[in-house]
Amino acid sequence: MKRLRKGHIAGLAGVLLLMSTPAQAQDGATLLAENCSGCHAADDSGALSRIKHQRKTPEGWLMTIVRMRLFHGMELEPGVQSELVHYLADTQGLAPSEAEDFRYILERRPNVVEAPEAPLAEMCARCHSAARVALQRRTKDEWNMHIDFHVGQWPTLEYQALARDREWLKIAREEVVPLLAEKYPFETDAWTAWEKADKPSATGSWVFTTSLPAKGEAYGALEVSGDTQPYSVSGTLKTASGDELAVSGKLNVYTGYEWRANLTIGDTAYRQVLAISEDGASLSGRQFLHAEDSLGGAFKAVKVGGKPAIAGVVPSTLPAGASGTVQVVGTGLGSVALTGALDASGGTVNAYGAAVDVSPAAGTDGAISVTSSDATADDALAVYSHIDSLKVEPAFAVARVGGGGGSAGKVPARFDAVGYWNGADGQPGTDDDVRIGVVPASWSVAPFNEEAEALKDVEFAGKMDESLGIFMPAVAGPNPKRPFSTNNAGNLKVLAKSGDASGEGQLIVTVQRWNDPPIR
């Protein structure tokens, strides 16, 4: 079969993790033996060396198999690969509690800043995320062999920064391996319990809240059906502004809870990386553009038919003095009570939960809790007549130039303007400030410092959408209009303005990411 090109396999992850299994699929253990035992020796029980002492996420196992194909010439049909990833993730995966703190890397959340402690910061996180390490479980011997793998696969690493000034291999053997074996052991109570637990079902009806990069807050319903994976997904999404879009796609579930879906919403391709709760009642994670994973939003859903529950409220912020309809998204809901800065009750039950018409009086400011049946969402809605201060989120972001005939596309950045009220001290920027939520704003960029001004970064680095807060970087490659024909990198201030309030963030526009695996 055609060999994979080294470098960009992240875009393939959504496809490869959703491949249909072979029509007459063999059991996973047989497939593993047939395709892997040529290099991995079996013990008396039939378990294969190296493989038997590791546990990983579905993306982790996919990366391992793709590496076998890239570097060791393994030939594998896509359907068989999909079956192997399923089998390994189901039998040697991570329990929900083991993956929970590191889901940001699976969900490809942009602009997350890690702070790993020594020695993992210098020894591991200088080349890839610390989360990539934490999303593996190995025996001590296997962690030790993992060091050998790094030396053999990348023999120059001892001459790189943060390695050549210290006894890298000695530190790896004597400090890092024991630490990894203690922090991320192969055998854990969490995994033993999860193996025995009843797994939640993805099929059925779900109602959800999310946000779309160019349309803002949205809600909708999904129906998951099918007897075999990938399951079929269909549904409807509605934006806060009233647009209605059809949803369709395919879904695979790994390890009993890892939800991976490719969807078309309207005419745009999206990918979902979510986790089903252990009780099967809720679903959470991130949904993003399939072509540009930096553009997306949080996704939260509850399963229809369970105990009364609220996934969220759309819109989540309302300007005072304007009438509108608030959609409370949930299941098992009836009459809705709003309490706090705005008191109201009633509403109309619909397919997504219940809708409430509201008319907050001019001058109204404050958070509102929502209650329906036995479900409550505290401070789920905010009404505001004024904003004391405005913050740009994220406060620091990275975008990447791309295109220009190269294989790496542009990586845009998206910002939100978040309004705040001063707290009891009456001062902005202090611990008692009260978050309102995302508010409409006008956007622009400016040079971050004198050097950025001298290099005309605003002119060359890219363009900011004035209403959406989405920055699209410029094309990659040498630019003869810049000093030394350098590329279109830049250091920019991101400026947001809403009414009399303004906020500021920083954006670094840098070069392409050439190696972009499913787990960075």
Residue type, 367: A
CATH homologous superfamily of 204-303 equals: Quinohemoprotein amine dehydrogenase alpha subunit, domain 2 (2.40.128.120)
**φ/ψ of residue 228, rounded to 5:** -135, 160
pLDDT of residue 339: 96
The 10 Å CB-count burial string (b at 16+, else e) for 289-306 is bbebbbbbbebbbbbbee
Distance CA 116, CA 169 (A): 20
Task: Flag whether pLDDT at 18 surpasses 70.
Answer: no
Which CATH code of 2.60.40.10, 1.20.120.1760, 2.60.120.10, 3.40.50.1820 fits the domain covering 389-510? 2.60.40.10
Residue type, 260: R
**φ/ψ of residue 272, rounded to 5:** -115, 130
Distance CA 476, CA 399 (A): 12
Q: Which of 416, 404, 400, 405 is nearest to 292 (CA)?
A: 400
Q: What is the pLDDT of residues 433-448, one digit of tens each?
A: 999 999 999 999 999 9
Give the confidence band of 296 by pLDDT, cuts at 50, 70, 90: very high
pLDDT of residue 2: 42
- Domains of the chain by residue range: 10-193, 204-303, 321-384, 389-510
Task: Flag whether pLDDT at 24 surpasses 50.
Answer: no
In the numeric block, the tokens 């004597």 are attached to 174
Distance CA 309, CA 512 (A): 43
Q: What is the pLDDT of residues 121-157, one digit of tens each?
A: 999 998 999 999 999 999 999 999 999 999 999 988 8
Strand partners, 390: 419
Contact 114, 131 (CB under 8 A): yes
Q: Chain-centre distance of CA 272, in angstroms?
A: 8
CA distances from 216 to 240, 242, 279, 439, 502 (A): 7, 11, 30, 10, 20
Give the confidence band of 16 by pLDDT, cuts at 50, 70, 90: low
Q: How does the average pLDDT of the chain come out, rounded?
A: 94
Give the confidence band of 12 by pLDDT, cuts at 50, 70, 90: low
Q: Chain-centre distance of CA 19, in angstroms?
A: 21
Q: What angle do CA 94, 514, 395 make, to 5 degrees?
A: 75
